[in-house]
Amino acid sequence: MRATDAFGVSRGYEQYFGLVESPFSLTPNTRFLFESESHSQALEQVTLALRRREAITVITGEVGTGKTMLCRILVQDLEPRTFISIVNNPLLSSDDLLKQLLHDFGLMSRDELHGATLSQHDMVAALQRFMASLIPLRARAIVLIDEAQHLRPEVLEQVRLLSNFETEDQKLLQVVLVGQLDLDELIERPDLRQLRQRISRRYQLQPLKPHEVEQYIERRLWVAHGGLGLAKIDRPVEFTAGERFWRVRFASPAMRAIAQLSQGLPRAINVICDRALERAHHAQKKEIDAGIVLAAARDLKIGVPPSVRLRSRPWPAMAAAAVLLLVAGGLALRPQTSRGSVESSPSAGGSQPTGSAPAETPGGPQPMTVATAAEVAGPLEAATSYEVAVASFRSEGRAVEVVRSLRQLDLPAYAHAAAGWHVVSVGPFASKAEAEDAQVQIARVHLTDSRIVSTAPGPDGALAPGVNPVATTGQKGQP
């Protein structure tokens, strides 16, 4: 029997999946370093600033972007002749900051500082003599302050004064301020304009891009499986068939769901993946699918956008649901003979026999109307979202070919059968802007008659006011 805690959560998933340690711990461990494009640029900027003896460098980033990991990598890569003071408690007074510098640079022990009565002038003078002694040694001193958005303005002013230690050609003390985005607002205060003038570089860490999320997860699994923790990889590790994920695998839809739910924040990725592995262990599954990821998000009280819920549903099931809804509601997906004009139905005076489908017009795919995303997903998943109706085909092979070409553009394309036609759609998307961006990419494969379909169902299933009638012109079938 599997061991569980008081909440019924399985423990020991590391052994079940063949891992030697937890791959998604929240503790910043440099063995798990993944150098995203943004992190690489940040490290490059700070390293260059230190090499050029620039006074103050500022690195900011959203909560969970990996700022503390960046600090640890920076300290790990410093030259041997470097004295560094790392300030992890920004809620210090100016005197407390000076005392920590004296201790970290080895000038006074904590007992000496506790028993001594030192004025601020005495402490600054002692630091200045120490800085001067580093010149013949070709050494340098650095102060790294984490969570710097919490620094008091008077402490930042003290930092500015310390950055004035210099010779004719170089700075004797360099400062790196690392903090959340609030740090930028703090620095913009009018009374800190002199500090701003001494900042040589400012860089903002960005979340991981969707393709980097997958590489990040693979990297941490590789290290946790016993891979060389200090080896840096720029792409997913390649293994022989069946060995890439060892005993655990995150399916592609799960990866996409994690990327959206976490918004690319490493800390959020770790939390979601850790809970997903626990759930998979409890269910005795070796593959993490989108359903497990969404369940993990619910456990963590993470809001799941409608686009994630819709996109995570298996497309074959969605297609079947769409067909049932179309049959039950009498909707017919009907191709158009020309842009902007819907082929006439029998009730409109057309000659097409009831129940028969029109022949496909030669010359390529035809524009068409399509069931909305809410109709496809079902009433429980109904929410305002957008899809792009691309084309409908008589030939299933042609529809599959178009889906394949769209997926090569990283578009969430799918096809389903309805009323004798094979319908190709892309989506769903949370906003119309995302759908419009998708339309631009769809045009690259010469499909220029796509339409954006919005879903805003009312209580009775009817479309709410404001929905584009041209995009939802499905005709009622004849009895």
Instruction: Specify the residue for token string 């909707």.
Output: 331
Domains of the chain by residue range: 13-25+209-304, 37-205, 313-348+358-476
Q: Which residues, listed in sequence order, are joined to residue 424 by a DSSP beta bridge?
A: 391, 415
Element (H, E) at 231: none
Please tell me the distance from the alpha carbon of residue 126 to that of residue 116, in angstroms, as a whole number: 13
Please tell me the distance from the alpha carbon of residue 446 to that of residue 451, in angstroms, as a whole number: 14
pLDDT in tens, the chain (479 residues): 444 444 344 357 888 888 888 999 988 888 888 989 999 999 999 999 998 999 999 999 999 999 999 998 988 888 888 999 999 988 999 999 999 999 999 998 888 887 777 889 999 999 999 998 998 888 889 999 999 999 999 999 999 999 888 877 778 899 999 999 999 999 999 999 999 999 999 999 999 999 999 999 999 998 888 765 433 434 444 444 344 445 688 999 999 999 999 999 999 999 999 999 999 999 999 899 999 999 999 999 888 776 665 555 544 444 444 444 444 444 333 333 333 333 333 333 333 333 333 344 444 444 433 333 334 344 333 446 788 888 888 888 888 888 888 888 888 888 887 777 888 888 888 888 888 888 888 887 778 788 888 765 444 433 333 333 323 333 333 32
Residue 455, pLDDT score:
60
Please tell me the distance from the alpha carbon of residue 249 to that of residue 276, in angstroms, as a whole number: 11
The amino acid present at 123, given as its one-letter code, is M
- The CA-atom distances, in angstroms, between 210 and each of 36, 292, 311 are 11, 19, 15
Please tell me the distance from the alpha carbon of residue 87 to that of residue 148, in angstroms, as a whole number: 9
The amino acid present at 122, given as its one-letter code, is D
Please tell me the distance from the alpha carbon of residue 361 to that of residue 382, in angstroms, as a whole number: 34
Q: Which residues are CB-neighbours of 58 under 8 A, at least 6 positions away?
A: 148, 176, 177, 178, 179, 183, 184, 187, 199, 201, 202, 203
Whether the domain at 13-25+209-304 and the domain at 313-348+358-476 fall into the same CATH topology: no
Question: What phi and psi, each to the nearest 5 degrees, are found at residue 93?
Answer: -85, 170
Residue 282, pLDDT score:
92
Fold of 13-25+209-304: Helicase, Ruva Protein; domain 3 (1.10.8)
CATH class of the domain whose range is 37-205: alpha beta
Contact 228, 260 (CB under 8 A): no
Torsion angle in degrees (nearest 10) through CA of 248, 254, 260, 264: 20
pLDDT, one tens digit per residue, over 255-295 is: 999 999 999 999 999 999 999 999 999 999 989 999 999 99
Nearest to 76 by CA among 108, 27, 28: 28
pLDDT, one tens digit per residue, over 130-149 is: 998 998 888 889 999 999 99
Q: Which stretches of 134-288 are DSSP H helices?
A: 153-162, 182-187, 193-197, 210-224, 252-262, 266-282
Residue 147, pLDDT score:
94
The amino acid present at 96, given as its one-letter code, is D
Element (H, E) at 3: none
Tell me if residue 325 falls in helix, strand or coil. helix
Residue 306, pLDDT score:
67
Q: Which CATH architecture has domain 313-348+358-476?
A: 2-Layer Sandwich (3.30)
The pair of three-digit structure tokens given for residue 133, joined into one six-digit string: 């002694």
Residue 29, pLDDT score:
87
Nearest to 315 by CA among 304, 305, 323: 323
Please tell me the distance from the alpha carbon of residue 32 to that of residue 111, in angstroms, as a whole number: 37
Please tell me the distance from the alpha carbon of residue 321 to that of residue 379, in angstroms, as a whole number: 11
> How many residues are present in the chain?
479
pLDDT, one tens digit per residue, over 379-388 is: 333 446 788 8
Q: Which residues are CB-neighbours of 241 under 8 A, at least 6 positions away?
A: none
Tell me if residue 330 falls in helix, strand or coil. coil
Tell me if residue 203 falls in helix, strand or coil. strand
Q: Which residues are CB-neighbours of 292 under 8 A, at least 6 positions away?
A: 254, 276, 279, 280, 283, 285
Instruction: Specify the residue for token string 């120490």.
Output: 130
DSSP label at 236? P
Q: Distance from CA of residue 297 to its chain's centroid?
A: 14
Residue 367, pLDDT score:
40
Please tell me the distance from the alpha carbon of residue 393 to that of residue 389, in angstroms, as a whole number: 12
